[in-house]
Amino acid sequence: MASSTTIATPAATTASSTGEITGLASRDHVRIDDLWYRYPGRDVSAWTLKGVDLILGAGELVGLLGPSGCGKTTLLRLIAGFERPGRGSISIGGQQVAGPERLLPPERRGVGMVFQDDALFPHLDAWRNACFGLRRGQDTARVAWLLDLLGLGGLERRYPHELSGGQRQRLAMARALAPSPSVVLLDEPFSNLDVEVRLRLRSELPAVLARCGASGLMVTHDPEEALAICDRVGVLRDGVLHQCAPPRELVDKPATAFVGQFVLQSNLLPARWRGRRLQTVLGELEPLSRGTDGPDAPEAIEVMVRPQALEFLPEDEGPAWITGREFLGREWLYQVQLGDHRLRWRAPLEADHPHGCRGQLRFRAGESALLFPGGWPLVTLPQGRSAETLSAPP
């Protein structure tokens, strides 16, 4: 994981003496190639996953983002071995676990799972819950180490109902990590926790996985969470992986308009060329690169602009109006309606406008934007000026 340089664990494992996969055996620890999946009984063309390629490096924590129903949990279930791919293959530690002619059962894949509801056994105390996945005779010293690592030392005799939500989720993590899995799949592990516990647990996760020598693939609905702690983040939509990249790259160079909109909560506007300029309802833009010329570009084009690149000028008869706002502590996030467009505007605290306030919504001059398809860099223009007179955005 990016945040840790040393991996110290009592059971940092690479062995596969029993044919099971434990510990970190290869740099591309999980490799998914051209994975297609359709649930039984669904229409022949109703693929839930469509040609997904994904690599999870040894010791990496990768986040998986996407709208509800896009196939995130299905992908985890395929890696864990609960479903059989329609096409494509999955390898763990260099060994194919699912493919056209091979399907390794879940218990032999060396994969641990953590779900959003901790799924603990209510009739077992913390110690026995944590030991549940161990094979007969397997060393329990690692369980004691894990409970200590996760801050549960001394709570071994407590039953799940005697633990807090955060402690239960830590226990679920200890249980998943106890059998020394080489990969841990986490399905929205923090979503049922209150904010403070969620923030604490999520910041601890990379170090815990690193200490255990495990790679992690974590499904989350929260782009901020994924960008905050993951080495790379994958964005899935309708079963198609749009991009999987380090957080910084995802923010600076979203591969598709959807990635920008979903991850950065950016605004997306239809645009059309007029000469070398692009026109939108919020104003004009110009390409920063000389290579992007109007006549050669495709017809169906969109411009992606960040919420902080807009400004709103209150005006009684203005065409835009404020339909909602959130107080973000140091700034406002407004929802502004302009014609058919619902846009996000991030504003400083001084810009304190009530619900229903009317005005002009437009680009701030000199802001960076992107043109899709392609992700070409653009700059917003003030009326009557061209990009040559503006300094390039950072």
Ligand X SMILES: Nc1ncnc2c1ncn2[C@@H]1O[C@H](COP(=O)(O)OP(=O)(O)OP(=O)(O)O)[C@@H](O)[C@H]1O
Q: Least distance to ligand X from the beta carbon of 83, Å?
A: 9
CA atoms within 13 A on the CB side of 231: 20
Q: Is 22 left (phi over 0), alpha (psi -120 to 50) or beta?
A: beta
**Residue 129 token pair:** 């819950």
CB of 56 to ligand X, least distance (A): 17
Of 194, 192, 213, the closest CA to residue 61 belongs to 213
By C-beta, is 66 or 81 nearer to ligand X? 66
Of 177 and 236, nearer to ligand X (C-beta) is 236
Distance separating alpha carbons of residues 187 and 198, to the nearest angstrom: 14
- Closest CB 73 distance from ligand X, rounded Å: 3
- Shortest reach from residue 184's CB to ligand X, in Å: 17
Give 69 or 270: the residue with its C-beta nearer to ligand X. Answer: 69
Nearer to ligand X, 156 or 222 (CB): 222
The residue (of 71 and 133) whose beta carbon lies closer to ligand X is 71
Neighbours of 177 (CB within 10 A): 28
To the nearest 10°, report the CA torsion of 359, 360, 361, 365. -140
From 209, 212, 211, 213, select the one nearest 230 (Cα to Cα): 209
Residue 41: both structure tokens together: 């009984």
Helix H segments across the chain?
Answer: 72-80, 126-131, 141-149, 165-177, 195-212, 223-229, 247-252, 257-264
Least distance from ligand X to the Cβ atom of residue 39, Å: 3
Least CB distance to ligand X at residue 189 (A): 13
Per CB under 6 A, residues contacting ligand X are 39, 48, 66, 68-74
Which residue from 385, 58, 54 is spatially nearest to 235, judged by alpha carbons?
54
Q: How far is CA 358 from CA 335, 362, 383, in A?
A: 12, 13, 21
Return the number of the residue (22 or 74) whose C-beta is nearest ligand X: 74
In angstroms, give the least distance from the CB of 72 to ligand X: 4
Structure tokens at 392: 């390039």
CB 4 within 8 A of CB 206: yes
Q: How far is the CB of 133 from ligand X (least distance, A)?
A: 23
Which residues are within 8 A (CB) of 102 and not within 5 positions of it... i.e. 6 or more apart?
96
Q: Which is nearer to ligand X, 188 or 284 (CB)?
A: 188
CB of 185 to ligand X, least distance (A): 12
DSSP code, position 22: B
- Cβ nearer to ligand X, comparing 53 with 162: 53
- In angstroms, rounded to a whole number, what is the distance separating the alpha carbons of residues 145 and 152? 10
- Of 71 and 287, nearer to ligand X (C-beta) is 71
Parallel, antiparallel, or unpaired for β 368-372 and 376-381? antiparallel
Contact by Cβ (8 Å): 218, 62: yes
Supply the minimum distance, in Å, between the C-beta of residue 82 and ligand X. 10
Nearer to ligand X, 86 or 374 (CB): 86
